Structure formats: C-alpha cells, structure tokens
Amino acid sequence: MAYQGILQRYGSLLGLPDHTQQVTLLEGGTPLVPVPGLVEKLGGDFELFVKFEGLNPTGSFKDRGMTAAVSEAVGRGAEAVICASTGNTAASAAAYAARAGLRAIVLIPEGKVAAGKLAGAIVYGAQVIQVQGSFDDALALVVEITQRTPLALVNSLNPYRLEGQKSAAFEICDTLGAAPDWLCLPVGNAGNITAYWMGFEQYHALKKTGLPQLLGAQAAGAAPLVLGHPVEQPETIATAIRIGRPARGEQALQAAQESRGRILAVSDDEILAAQQMLAGEGLWVEPASAAGLAGLKAEVEAGNLDPRGKRIVVVCTGHGLKDPDVITHSMEKPRVIPAEMGALVDVIKVG
Ligand SMILES: *Cc1c(COP(=O)(O)O)cnc(C)c1O
C-alpha cells in the first residue's frame, strides 16, 4: 500500500484518543542520509547520518506533531487552532488547518521570523499576528486565551504534538535496524528532544532496540537549559531556537540525563560553520537545524565525545530554503558578466 503518513504507519504506538480523525499531508518517511564526508572531517572511524526533516511537507519536523494535534482537534470538533511560533510551527499549523478546513491563528515575534516561514503561514491562509515581544511572550498569550476560549492549542504543550513527533525515533530505529549510539539535535522549546526520548524508550520496551545518548544543542544566546535559568532576551541567528523559557525544559533535561547525554550551548559562528559543512554535502538546512552537528563537532574536538566505532545520527530539523537571508547576507554576490564567451572563459578559468 502506498505511504499514508505517520498516523497510518505508527498510529497504534502514538497514544491518540479514539475520536482522532486523520488529517495528513503524508509527513514523515524522511531520509536518513549517510554523510561519510563529514565523518572524515571529524576524524573518521564512525558512522554518521543526517535525518533530513526539512523534507517534510512544510519543510520541518513540526509536521509530525501537527498531523497528530490537528487530527485530534478535528475529531473532537474543534473549529480553530492557535499557536505561538518562531515560524515553522506557524507554517505547519496553517497547512494542516487548511487541509482540515479549520481556521488557524498564529502569533509570531515581530521581525524575528524567517521570510519563507512567514510566507508559508500566510499562503496557507492563517491569520498571522505579530507580537511586539519574544516567542515566550507570544506563547504566554496563547496559553491564556486557550484557557478562556474553545481555540485548540497546537504548540508542543499539546501532548499529541509529542506523540506525533515520536515517529521520527521509530523511523530511525526501523531504518537502522537498531537505535543509534548518539542522537544530536537542536533544542528550543524542547518538545522535540522530549518526544525523541519518549519514542526511543517506547521502542526499547517494545522491540528491545537500544537507547541512544542524547546530545542537545542550544544557541549560546538562548541557552536557558545550559545556564539553569530563563533568558529574558534570547538572541541568535538560529531563529527557530530563539527561546528563553522552554515549555518542555524540565523534561528535556531529564531525558538528556537519563540517556547519559547532555545539553550544551553552541555559538552562532559554530552554527553557521556547521550549516556550511552540511551544505558541502549537498544538504541545505536552516541555521537552527545545524546546531546538532555544531554540538557534535564541538564535543568531538574537545575530546568530550569519542565517536570511534559509534553510529551517530544528527537531526536536521528544517530546510534551508525557508531562511535564505542568513546565507545571502554573508555570501559573495554572484559575478555579473556580459553575454559573451570571452567574458565567461575569463571568469570560470577552465582549460
Ligand atoms: C521548532 C524547531 C526547533 C526546536 O524544536 P523544539 O521542539 O522547540 O526544541 C529546531 N529546529 C527547527 C527547524 C524548528 O522548527
């Protein structure tokens, strides 16, 4: 049977209520891409894969949680969904709401959302509201209004989001035939690392697959889980993880600890360097998505993580296409030439 999305494939493992009515865009089933070139750059002698979540229908892993949350909301008769977002949740909520014929309202921090994500949310027909404040301020508003009105909350405080996001852990185990030794990923609101750990634990209990150690990476300017306190004015180029008060922070810390892993901070420069390394393998991811690799690289180089003989998965959470500004600002502008052979030969210097 043709692929029908994660609810169809893993529904019995996802802890969704009986009233759930599947709303799908055929999310999930993303590739686990081997990256031997990066293994070499990091000293060799291990296996490294990228779980390329940018290939989901709206360009990020958020679609895994959104198919679950919107399917549940539709099944109980919700007519509108609302979320706060650094961008990808907004685009995903808007798309799945459109698919289901629901109204979508999304709150984003003013001026801090990548162009492609904002465009997506608008194109899919959501009501987009810019808040003069941070993501955390927007989330506080959303939580309060959903307590007073029938609007369905689809942030990762919604437990069904995490249920859907567990599917990525299942896919990795099913593809590898085992759990990886390490799983490296960015941490923002901390729902994803929490969901991965739930998924790996569930497969461990059910199928006797092993448990990976988790390496979570926060941006240095937005690293509350590393600092041990909220960050009032989070700042980073990696806008998807520009969060100072993670909703699932406690659970994320616990997951990292139980896995005998950790959560660390990486600088924006390290994030951009990792983004470039991935692009050098043909994988263009948005800055936040490169944080997992940046964390792995930093730990390997510091001698804190010995990769030898290990199987490591880096989760690249979203596609680079949605956030082109970061790259184009720092890039050399392409050369302009007259439409003449002589000029072309001069510029490309071949043969
Ligand atoms: C949402 C998001 C994250 C952070 O995930 P959390 O569950 O909030 O920790 C990382 N990268 C991208 C691309 C995202 O959209």
Residues with Cβ < 8 Å from 38, sequence gap 6 or more? 48, 277, 278, 281, 293
Higher-confidence residue: 117 or 164?
164
Is 351 a residue whose pLDDT tops 70?
Answer: no
Q: Ligand 1 centre and the CA of 262: distance in Å?
A: 17
Write down the pLDDT at residue 26. Answer: 98
| Res. 333 pLDDT band, cuts 50 70 90 | confident
Instruction: From 30, 112, 192, give the residue whose CB has the most ligand 1 atoms within 8 Å, as the site to mutate.
Output: 192
Residues 234 and 257 sit within 8 Å (Cβ to Cβ): no
| Res. 166 pLDDT band, cuts 50 70 90 | very high
Looking at residue 241, the DSSP 8-state letter turns out to be G
Residues 153 and 130 sit within 8 Å (Cβ to Cβ): no
Residues with Cβ < 8 Å from 42, sequence gap 6 or more? 48, 296, 297, 300, 307
What are the E-state strand segments in the chain? Answer: 32-34, 47-52, 80-84, 103-109, 127-131, 152-153, 182-186, 213-219, 262-266, 311-316
Is 138 a residue whose pLDDT tops 90?
Answer: yes
The one-letter code for the residue type at 249 is G
Write down the pLDDT at residue 82. Answer: 98
Write down the pLDDT at residue 258. Answer: 98
Dihedral angle over CA of 324, 326, 329, 335, nearest 10: -40
Average pLDDT of the chain is 96
| SS3 (DSSP) at 22 | coil
Per-residue model confidence as pLDDT tens digits over 17-52? 999 999 999 999 999 999 999 999 999 999 999 999
Rounded Cα distance between 60 and 70, Å, is 16
Q: Ligand 1 centre and the CA of 1: distance in Å?
A: 31
**Phi, psi for residue 145 in degrees, rounded to 5:** -70, -30
Per-residue model confidence as pLDDT tens digits over 186-214? 999 999 999 999 999 999 999 999 999 99
Q: Which helix (H) or strand (E) holds 231?
A: none
Provide the percentage of residues in the chain whose pLDDT is more than 90. Answer: 92
The answer to whether the CB of 192 is under 6 A from ligand 1 is yes
Per-residue model confidence as pLDDT tens digits over 81-120? 999 999 999 999 999 999 999 999 999 999 888 888 999 9
Nearest to 169 by CA among 182, 158, 184, 179: 179
The answer to whether the CB of 317 is under 6 A from ligand 1 is yes
Residues 215 and 291 sit within 8 Å (Cβ to Cβ): no
Rounded Cα distance between 258 and 241, Å, is 23
Q: Which atom of ligand 1 is nearest to the CA of 54?
A: 13
Is 129 a residue whose pLDDT tops 80?
Answer: yes
Write down the pLDDT at residue 114. Answer: 87
Dihedral angle over CA of 150, 245, 107, 25, nearest 10: -80
CB atoms within 10 A of CB 198: 18
Q: Ligand 1 centre and the CA of 151: distance in Å?
A: 23
Is 226 a residue whose pLDDT tops 80?
Answer: yes
Nearest to 47 by CA among 35, 31, 58: 35
The mean per-residue pLDDT over the stretch 253-257 comes to 98
The mean per-residue pLDDT over the stretch 306-313 comes to 98
Residues with Cβ < 8 Å from 47, sequence gap 6 or more? 34, 39, 310, 311, 312
Write down the pLDDT at residue 195. Answer: 98
Taken as a whole, the chain contains a residue count of 351
Looking at residue 332, the DSSP 8-state letter turns out to be P
Q: Ligand 1 centre and the CA of 187: distance in Å?
A: 6
Is 349 a residue whose pLDDT tops 90?
Answer: no
